[in-house]
Amino acid sequence: MTVGNNNSTPVYKNPDLPTETRVADLISRMTVDEKISQMTSGASAIPHLGVPAYNYWNEALHGVARAGRATVFPQAIGMAATWDAALIQRIASAIGDEARAKHHESLRKFGDSAISRGLTFWSPNINIFRDPRWGRGQETWGEDPHLTGELGSAFVRGLQGDDPKYMKAAACAKHYAVHSGPEKDRHVFDARVSLRDLNDTYLPAFEKLVTEAKVEAVMGAYNRVNGEPACASDVLLVQTLRGKWGFKGHVVSDCGALSDIHNGHKLTKDAPESAALALKAGCDIACGATYDKLGEALARGLITEADIDQSLMRTLATRFKLGMFDPPERVPFSTTPMSVVNSPAHRALAHEAALKSVVLLKNKGALLPITDKTRSVVVTGPTAANIEVLLGNYYGLSDSLTTILEGVVNRIPEGMAIEYRPGCTLAAPNQNEMDWTYDIVSGTDITIACVGLSPLLESEEGDAILSIENGDRSQLGLPAVQVNFIKRLARGGAKIVLVVTGGSPIDLGEIENLVDAIMFVWYPGQEGGYAVADVLFGKESPSGKLPLTFPMSVDDLPPFEDYAMAGRTYRYATAVPRYPFGFGLSYTQFVFSDLTLSASSLKTGDTVTGQFTLTNAGAVEAEEVAQLYITDVQTSVPAPLCTLVHFERVSLKPGEHRVVPFTITPEMMQIIGEDGAPMIEAGEFRVTIGGCSPSERGIALGAPQPVSARFEIGD
């Protein structure tokens, strides 16, 4: 098919025509073998059609990953601790800019873009962090469906951009669905889940990214869900994703997941059968093998050429929307310069994110911030000078990685003495019984003890080389060597500020009472050291909030393999937490007051508005994350104890107050029935607004006193 005479531009090369028309024309020119060559993540070149080779496998979890230099932002769970959707969108937009620069530089230099140099990014990971033992939980946005949906959507919008014709980059929501460990069983595991939990917890964030953020791609998970392989599930892919939600983008398998259908799950007898099952369910691209057997599946009558064409219409459309078949001058992002990569503006953005991610968990006697009156500090601990704890997993590399030690040295006031000793290793006992660390600490005003986890202890199955659980954890405490180290510091009378790294909850146990202050800093990215020091020395007040519950003990958790939500997360757990969801202290004192609602009696389907006052009653300018929770007080079916429905960052000067309005929609009042369908029941509802999830433990730890109001829905 051509436009005009036989010498004119083929339809698929005409950028003025609709994408669907162009894609259909290109497919019509391909042989069956050429079509199949486009069905794997590493798509082959078709020279006579001018189709370049392209690899769909690219990562951008918290910066362009595995492609050399890039700005390294805080790990996803750290970005989640900012509770700042606008910031997340700016970060993702910066990642998209760096991706464009690196992609086009690769094209100019090599004539193609290899793996990790493309524009289709398998991010964000929006699985619900339902169990703190999961090593990949650090990649997620926490345990709450609403927070995950809001921040994940912001990431998608930033990465994909807002140009009316071209995407800056293509985002991918993963891993669809019901996927959060155990890592060692993921290739054979069947996640059994009720329709209520599926639709109340595991699917809402995916639905939001598909229907509202218009994410371009979805990645299927390794596991089965209620007996069906996630990458070939009629319920997940056909009925829900493309049926109920109307998804128009493409679906890609996790890497090797289609081979799991016959090798791990034993649902088919061989690769051609697995390929056919996945293709007919709507999985468009296979990462890894299996779709190389589509020719055999076609010969055996398991699929038709029309099935292949249908998938190609979706995957090639993505490449067209990225401008890959158009003249560079028509694509607004093609001239993005390499100077954006780790630019001063992006480093400042990484610094802002790291600052806002720091969560202050304890501050006995207002030890922090460290003042100019402090004469000496010691920095010690296994993570103080550690690069891995800046990076997390799925990371890029930067020439400006700043460790916690370097950050403290850079920010410490002139005249204040500072020394450094490692003190202990990450996980192995010291081989030398002699250690001068304790002698130095005994004469120091404040000891900054940097401890915690590392991606070597928690991560994906092949990355966590110090984990005996394939990246997961069986216990939530610190390694014993670190616990003993902190105890010995405390016995020597040290005044300890504990700076904790990690991507998941840590049970500090008795250590909590041995230290004076605790800061949880996640895997804070390349600016992490500067950001931590800025909070330590009071240049900034901490404002991060926990995006997941820190339980008292692993004994409070259901079995890891149990995907039922009963007893899990702040929404369903009745055990007292060590630190509640949404918790985080400040250097000032915030007061919530004057909560009012527009009505106390509603009919089903009504919307209620309200407002509250937030006051900075302290002496430090700071930001608070105001959190709104709803509880359906009495329900006919199991329902959450409370549910986050809105949050907002508010910046206030000392003594300043602000009246903050909000709206509660009917959707926020819904609970999920046994059949998985949403419903609104008549009865009493409680609205709670505060600085963390409703929790007596939170108040005891220093969170602001929340305010509550009630309304009723009549029969």
524 token code pair: 């804070």
The answer to whether 38 touches 316, Cβ cutoff 8 Å, is: yes
Nearest 5°: the CA angle 458, 397, 385 is 60
Cα 491 to Cα 354, 450, 686, distances in angstroms: 32, 17, 46
Contact call for residues 382 and 422 (beta carbons, < 8 A): yes
3-state SS assignment for residue 685: strand
Contact between 183 and 216 (Cβ < 8 Å): no
Strand partners, 225: 191, 228
Question: Which residue of the set 84, 97, 254, 507 is catalytic?
Answer: 254
Count other C-beta atoms under 10 Å from residue 112's C-beta.
Answer: 14
Report residue 24 as tokens.
Answer: 């259909």
- Name the residue among 661, 520, 662, 657 with its Cα closest to residue 590: 657
- DSSP letters for 526-575: TTHHHHHHHHHTTSS------SS-EES-GGGSPPTT----TT-HHHH--S
Q: Are 512 and 578 in contact (CB under 8 A)?
A: yes
Q: Which residues pair with 59 in a beta bridge?
A: 65
3-state SS assignment for residue 107: helix
254 has catalytic annotation:
yes
Contact 709, 643 (CB under 8 A): no
Burial readout 253-270 (b: 16 or more C-beta within 10 A, e: otherwise): bbbbbbbbbbbbbebbee
Distance CA 437, CA 442 (A): 9
The b/e string for 303-325 (b: 16+ C-beta within 10 A; e otherwise) is: beeebbbebbbbbbbbbbbbbbb
Write out the catalytic residue numbers. 254
